[in-house]
Structure 1
Amino acid sequence: MTEHAQILKAFVKLGDFLTEFCENGNNAAFETLNRAIRLAEEQNGWFTKENILFALRQWGEALGEPPLKNWLSQYGISQKSSQKTIAIIMAGNIPLVGFHDFLSVLLTGNKALCKLSSNDTTLVPVLADYLIDQEPSLNERIEFTEGKIQGFDAIIATGSNNTARYFEYYFKQYPHIIRKNRTSVAVLTGDEKPEDLKALGDDIFRYFGLGCRNVSKIFVPKGYEFDTFFNGIFDHKKVIEHHKYANNYDYNKAVYLMSAFKILDNGFLILKEDNTLHSPIAVLFYEYYSDLKELHQKLNAKRGELQCIVGRTGIVGEIPFGHTQRPKLNDYADGVDTLDFLLRL
């Protein structure tokens, strides 16, 4: 068995492990992962057990042998001969957000030099330990560093627009992928069924709206009845029971009311008409449109700021309601093909 096949097999075993854990997490065999989850919850108030388990479940499915082989079959990875050290600066806005880069680096035969976000320090290392147990050769391919990263050949860094400018300057002499702030939007027509809007609620509220794949704005036709929307997302009302989310809701509502902005409010989500894309936590921006063709042109012009467009209106790349947080392995962040980048080094 080739080294690539052995590493692939280790990831498949990890997928099986995560799937089994999500189905039977109380088993003593999972104590290490359970301990990591408890620590992640303590370190980051946004990382609820429910959201961590959701992320683990998605990776359990993605690391199945068929989806992995289908993804990799397009690239001819086994032809790569030279090993590079790839620095990965991971974000920490949602659980395991840097794991796709970690996976991509190892499956392309490279070494992963990882700098974790202070908001997510426990989850990736515990999965890395499991991989090393399955394939000991990975011990030489995985390194975590807390200090200044050095001794690398290329870098993948994820951060805000501000940190991206720093990354682009500091790492300009290296081959790099530098990711910036993106967000997602949904286009409604008024013909959505209740189950569509409930699924859209998943796109809005999963991870409390902190991910680039979360819908932060909706486009609605003129005359749209927002009661229909509020009724559709009502099942997500428990989000307000989370204290950090509730604090953001209260703060943003107070700011808007003091500023005399017109808002719509259902007790756990604020709707505000706004031409920009990125809404604060507990706020969803909306904008009216009168012509779908013109809206499609507008959204196409903003592709560089968008990760997902949700709906059923026919725009290229549109995804169904409820699927933003269920990306496939080839749904690359910022639309940059990570595997292609790594294989060209």
Structure 2
Amino acid sequence: MSLEAKKKGLKQLQSFLNSYLSAFQNDNLHDGYQEFNDIVVKSKQHNAWFSVQNIHKAIGSWVEALSEENINTWLKPYDLNNINKKKVAIISAGNVPLVGFHDCLSVFLTGHDLVLKYSSKDKFLTPYLLKFLQNTGNFDSKLEVTDGQLSDFDAVIATGSNNTSRYFEYYFKNKPNIIRKNRNSVAVLSGNETDDELKNLGNDIFQYFGLGCRNVSKVFVPKGYDFSKFFEAIYGFGDLIHHHKYANNYDYNKAVYLMSEIKLFDNNFLVLKEDQSYSSPIACLFYEHYEDLNQIEKKLNIDRDLLQCKVGHLDFTEIGFGETQSPQLWDYADDVDTILFLKDL
């Protein structure tokens, strides 16, 4: 199948997703979109972290990403002709809706067959959209969806925790592979941020309940930083505490810290704890003071393999406030070019 045909298929997907969101907002879910809305509802019922709002946020991000201009920019550097078809296994995470969809798209675009081992937390959305792409008639990749053990494949892309990655590295050592581990995202504040920038930082922290590797889990702040302005800016996210799983995590982690007599900042839906680690629990945000920005730049450069996003308006930060959960198609996870990996199999 030609690349132009595949691009046409992506545009059909974008149009479908955009029309679905519009139909939902206008309470006009006729037959063409009711089936997909049932998938959205089923996903929410299966995984309480997958609120309809968050699923729609993920869908909206894909609508924006799959513009004709973005697709052309993404694929322009690659020669995708004469690729030797292989069977590629994707072991997907399930922390946020559609988190493994980019990998699956990359397999389809390079013409390989796909074996998707979905996460038990996200078993409906991605398979449905992949079957939609197949039904456009613009892709010739075979699709196998499973929750069982993988046995017949030529290469693998696997995403998991640091613990599971060690298993992946051993099990798949004789196959071409991309193995992704835990990463976290950080923000570096100068103290001169506007209210809007801090509010946008709230999106980076709270979108998808903070479950994604692109969610900010730690902030670096100048010594003596006053968090009151930050708390005022993120006040609008307070409804998160009404989500039972988020509230349970907030109550549990706060109680554990208080019993350990750890000094905290708290606004009744987010706990701030001073900590050198990058990975904070749900409903918590770690912070660390600095006196020299050059030292922070050096530290983040040394730890670059632990980080997904560096947020701020400083020279060495790479992503603006509020932009972490809207990556471009060419913003590859862990900076590993998935298309290039698949093209050269």
Taking structure 1 as the reference length, the TM-score comes to 0.97
Q: Tell me which amino acid in the other structure corresponds to 1:128.
A: L
User: Is 2:45 aligned against 1:42?
Assistant: yes
Q: Provide Cα deviations, 1:202-243, integer angstroms capped at 9, x if missing partner.
A: 000000000000000000000101101101111111111111
Deviates more, 1:161-170 or 1:129-138: 129-138
Q: Aligned residues: percent identity?
A: 52
User: Is 2:34 aligned against 1:31?
Assistant: yes
Structure 1, unaligned runs of 5 or more: none
Contact 1:22/1:53, CA 8 A, preserved across alignment: yes
Q: Provide Cα deviations, 1:2-24, integer angstroms capped at 9, x if missing partner.
A: 53322221111001111111122
Given candidates 111, 114, 117, the residue that maps to 1:112 is 114
Name 2:65's counterpart in structure 1: 62
C-alpha separation between the residues in 2 aligned to 1:184 and 1:271?
A: 16
Q: Tell me which amino acid in the other structure corresponds to 1:12.
A: K
Given candidates 72, 76, 96, the residue that maps to 2:98 is 96
Name 1:221's counterpart in structure 2: 222
Name 1:297's counterpart in structure 2: 298
Contact 1:80/1:108, CA 8 A, preserved across alignment: no
C-alpha separation between the residues in 2 aligned to 1:9 and 1:32?
A: 23
C-alpha separation between the residues in 2 aligned to 1:217 and 1:199?
A: 15
User: In the superposition, relative to structure 1, how do residues 109 and 276 fare at CA in structure 2: closer, same or farther (>3 Å)?
Assistant: same
Contact 2:156/2:176, CA 8 A, preserved across alignment: yes
Q: Tell me which amino acid in the other structure corresponds to 1:325.
A: Q
Contact 2:108/2:139, CA 8 A, preserved across alignment: no
Q: Tell me which amino acid in the other structure corresponds to 1:119.
A: K
Contact 2:5/2:138, CA 8 A, preserved across alignment: no
Name 2:13's counterpart in structure 1: 14
3-state SS of 2:115 partner: strand
C-alpha separation between the residues in 2 aligned to 1:291 and 1:135?
A: 57
User: Is 2:331 aligned against 1:331?
Assistant: yes
Q: CA deviation at 1:136?
A: 6.7
C-alpha separation between the residues in 1 aligned to 2:10 and 2:104?
A: 11
C-alpha separation between the residues in 2 aligned to 1:125 and 1:118?
A: 12
C-alpha separation between the residues in 2 aligned to 1:213 and 1:32?
A: 30
Structure 2, unaligned runs of 5 or more: none
Q: Provide Cα deviations, 1:264-299, integer angstroms capped at 9, x if missing partner.
A: 000100000001100000000000000111110011
Q: CA deviation at 1:98?
A: 0.4
Q: Tell me which amino acid in the other structure corresponds to 1:121.
A: K
Q: Tell me which amino acid in the other structure corresponds to 1:74.
A: P
- Compute the RMSD of aligned alpha carbons: 1.1
3-state SS of 2:114 partner: strand
Name 2:75's counterpart in structure 1: 72
User: Is 2:270 aligned against 1:269?
Assistant: yes
Contact 2:133/2:139, CA 8 A, preserved across alignment: no
C-alpha separation between the residues in 2 aligned to 1:8 and 1:43?
A: 32
C-alpha separation between the residues in 1 aligned to 2:68 and 2:94?
A: 27
Q: Tell me which amino acid in the other structure corresponds to 1:10.
A: G
Q: How does 1:95-244 map to 2 (within 5 A)?
A: 95-135=97-137, 138=140, 140-244=141-245
Contact 1:17/1:60, CA 8 A, preserved across alignment: no
Q: Provide Cα deviations, 1:174-228, integer angstroms capped at 9, x if missing partner.
A: 0000000001000001100000000000000000000000000000000101101
C-alpha separation between the residues in 1 aligned to 2:8 and 2:112?
A: 16
Contact 1:16/1:64, CA 8 A, preserved across alignment: no
C-alpha separation between the residues in 1 aligned to 2:178 and 2:144?
A: 19
Q: Which runs of 4+ in 1 moved over 3 A?
A: none
Give aligned pairs, total: 341
Name 2:2's counterpart in structure 1: 3
Contact 2:120/2:147, CA 8 A, preserved across alignment: no
Q: Provide Cα deviations, 1:14-65, integer angstroms capped at 9, x if missing partner.
A: 0111111112223211011100001000110100000000000111121222
Taking structure 2 as the reference length, the TM-score comes to 0.97
